[in-house]
Amino acid sequence: MTERWRKKLQGLDGVGPDDEVFQRAKAGPQLPDEPIPGPKTSTRIVTVIAAFLVFALAISVFAIPALRLKDDGTTPIQGVGAGIQPLWPWQTVDQVKAFAADPQPVNGLDPSVTFAPDELASAFGTQVLGWGDKVWANEVVEVTSDTICSPWRGNMSSTPSAPYLGAPCSLAPPTVSASAFRTYSLSTCAQNALCDYAWPGPPNVSVVLYQPLGADGPWAVIEAKSQFVDLTVGPGDVVHDGSTVGATAQTPAKYHAVLGARVGDGACGYATMAAFNEVPARDEAIRLNATAEMRLPGPPTLAEVDCPSSAHGFVFAAIAEEPLDVNGTWSALDPLSGGGPRLFAFAAVPIVMESADAAVSAPPTVEASTPSKIPVSESPMPVSWTTHTDPLGWTIDVPESWASDSFDVFDGRVTNTGAWFSSAQPQVLPGPMQEPISTVAAPGEVMLKIWHREGGAFQLPADDSTFPLSYDDVQPGDMGNELTFEGDGLSFTLSITSGDGTITAEQEAILRRMVGSIHFAPWTKGETRNGLASFGPADGYAVGSETVDAAQVLVHAPSGFYLLEAGVCPSAPDVTIGDGGQINVTCGGATGMYSKTGMPDGQNPAGFDQPLPAHPAYVASDGSVLVAFGITLPDDGSWSPEYWSA
C-alpha cells in the first residue's frame, strides 16, 4: 500500500462496532428455517445437456488441435497461418520427427543445440548470416521500464509504445510462463558492451523460434526478420500460383538487396532471386528505400515426374555489402544452407505454394519500381495546432499532439541541422546517431523532417523559394518523399515518410498544412541576423546597376546580386561609379579603378592592385536583398560568369 493511502486510512484503526452490534450478532438468525426448494426434473435435464455441450466444445477447441499438432505438426497455429512448417534448421515437420526419433547432427549442429533456443538462435547468426564464430542471442521480452538498454549505444530513452529497435542487452528473465514463440535479437556485440560500429551501423536480424513437436521437442526457427526489410508474406501463408510477393528495404548506399524464393524439392521445385531496384544516392551516408516484387509460379509439372499440386518453401530478402549475384550460385539460391556472404539484414518466412491445376509455369518475373507517392485512405479529423520556429529562421505549423525534436549532427564531413515532427513517438535505428536517417516513423505513423546540410562542395547561394510551398511538389527521393527549398540564403531538404508505406487522408491533410505553413520572418532594411544583412527591396535596384553605400558597392547583375567592399584604404575611401561602369576608389590622393566584378585595372597605382572582396547576395522570400558577409567569393573572379552570363 502506498504512503498516500496509508495516511488516508490510518483513522480506521480507531473505529469499531458499538455494543448493540455485538449483542445483535450473539442472538444469531431470527428468521424461521425453511427448506430450500430443489430443482425441477426438467431443470436437471437441461443442465446436464448444457454441461455436455460445453465439455464437447472444449474438446473440439483445445484437445483435438493439441492431439493433431502432436500427430502431424501441421495444425494451424494462431497468428502464423495454416500448414506451418519450420524454416531452419529443418524445412518440414517430417524432418523434425525423423530427428526426434533418431537425433543426429543437423547442418553441422550438435543435437543438443536444438533443445537450447538461445544456442540455436546464435547458430543461425553464425551459419546463415555469416557473422563469424561468435554471435550473441538476446531474448526479446516485454519491457515495462521507460529505458531500454542496447548493446550498441548504452541507454536510450523511449516509451513502451515505441520501443528502441536494438536488441536489449541486459534484461531480467520474464516472470510469466514462457511463450510458445520466443524471439531473439542477434548481435555481433556482447551483452552490456558498447561496440563502436562504423557506418552504416551494426547488422540487424532477429529470429522467432517455436517447437514444432510440442513442449518436449526440439526448437526451430520459424521466421527471420529485420527492421530494414519487410516482406509482404508471413509465416505459413498460402501462396497460389501466379501470386505476387514483394518486399521493401531500407538499404545503405552502395549495398545490395535481393528478393528470392525457394519452393519444393528436386525436379518438383525451383529457386529464384532478383535484385531490388536501385535508387541513386547523393552520398554514402544515405539509406535508400527500395522495393521489389516477384510473381511465383506453382510447382512445375514434368512429363517424367508427377509433382504434387502443393509444396512447402520460403520467401526471403537480404541486404549485404558484397554483391548478391542473382544469376550466380549463392548456395544454389538457398541462403539457409549457409556459406554465403556476410548479411547486413535478412528476412525469411516459410510459405505453402498451391497450384489449382499444376500447369507448366514460366520462370518468375520481377517488377522493380522506384519509390512512388504514398497511397491515401480514410478521412481527416480536427487538429489542435501550435508553431515551431527553428534557429535557422524557418517556422512551421505543427499539431500539438505530435512528437518533435531538433538535431545538429556532424558526421566528420558535413553537419546536418534541423528538426523532425512525428505523429507518434518515432523509432530509432541502431548504430551511431546519423540524422536525418536515424529517426524513423513508427508503423502506421508519419514523420516530416526539415534540415540544412553545412559542408561539402561549395555552392553559391540561390534566391529564396516562392512561398507557400506545395505538398504536391513533394517527390520520391533518397530519404523518402522529398522537397528541397531555399530560405534566408540556405538550402533545406524536407522529407515525408510513413512507417508502413501508407498515409491516411487525415495524415495527408495535416502534412499539407504543415508544408504550406513553412515561412521565414520578413526583413527590414539594415537588419542583420545569422550573418546576413538586408539592403532593402530588390525591386529598388535596376538590373546592371551599381549602388554605392559608403565603402560598399551593391551590384545587380543579370543573374543576381553581389556586393564589393572598397575598403582598400586606411581611412574611409571616396567611391564613385564611372561613365563606363568602372568603380573608382579614391583615398590618400590616389585613385584606383576596378571592373564591375572588383578586378583591378592594370594601370592602378601601388596599393590598388588587389581585387575588391566580393560577397554573394540573393533575394529573400519577402523580396529583400540579403548580403552574406560570411562568404567571400574567390579573388580570381572565377565566379563572375555565374552572374554575368545571362
Residue 97 maps to a domain:
yes
pLDDT at 326: 54
Residues 165 and 254 reside in one and the same domain: no
Residues 359 and 454 reside in one and the same domain: no
Residue 546 maps to a domain:
yes
CA of residue 185 relative to chain centroid, distance: 18
Residue 317 maps to a domain:
yes
Cell of 549: 553605400
Residue 170 maps to a domain:
yes
Q: Residue 77: which of 101, 90, 89, 93 has the closest Cα?
A: 93
Phi, psi dihedral angles at 555 (to 5 degrees): -110, 130
Residues 427 and 497 reside in one and the same domain: yes
Residue 333 CB contacts under 8 Å (≥ 6 apart), including other chains: 260, 262, 271, 272, 273
Phi, psi dihedral angles at 410 (to 5 degrees): -105, 125
Domain count, the chain: 4
Cell of 335: 541462403
pLDDT at 537: 94
pTM above 0.85, yes or no: no
Cell of 141: 521480452
Residues 196 and 292 reside in one and the same domain: no
Q: At which of 520, 536, 555 does a domain end? A: 520
Q: For 470-491, how does the pLDDT look when each residue is reduced to its tens digit (9 = 90+)?
A: 999 998 876 678 999 999 988 9
**CATH number of the domain within which 544 lies:** 2.102.10.10
C-alpha torsion angle, residues 115, 117, 119, 123 (rounded to 10): 100
Distance of CA 297 to CAs 154, 238, 334, 356, Å?
47, 13, 18, 11
Residue 45 maps to a domain:
no
Residue ranges in the chain modelled with pLDDT below 50 = 1-15, 17, 21-22, 24-26, 31-49, 52-82, 142-178, 280-285, 301-304, 331-332, 358-380
Residue 2 maps to a domain:
no
Residues 512 and 636 reside in one and the same domain: no
Q: At which of 327, 343, 369 does a domain end? A: 369
Residues 585 and 629 reside in one and the same domain: yes
Residues 637 and 560 reside in one and the same domain: yes
Residues 192 and 294 reside in one and the same domain: no
Q: At which of 336, 369, 402 does a domain end? A: 369
Residues 422 and 289 reside in one and the same domain: no
Residue 445 CB contacts under 8 Å (≥ 6 apart), including other chains: 422, 423, 424, 426, 498, 499
Residue 158 maps to a domain:
yes
Residues 92 and 134 reside in one and the same domain: yes
Domain of 141?
A: 74-225
**CATH number of the domain within which 355 lies:** 3.90.280
Residue 588 CB contacts under 8 Å (≥ 6 apart), including other chains: 569, 570, 571, 607
Round to whole Å and give the CA distance between 584 and 594: 6
pLDDT at 396: 95
Residue 535 maps to a domain:
yes
Cβ-contact 482, 475 below 8 angstroms: yes
Residues 86 and 219 reside in one and the same domain: yes
pLDDT at 539: 92
Residues 365 and 383 reside in one and the same domain: no
For residue 1, the surrounding DSSP H or E stretch is none
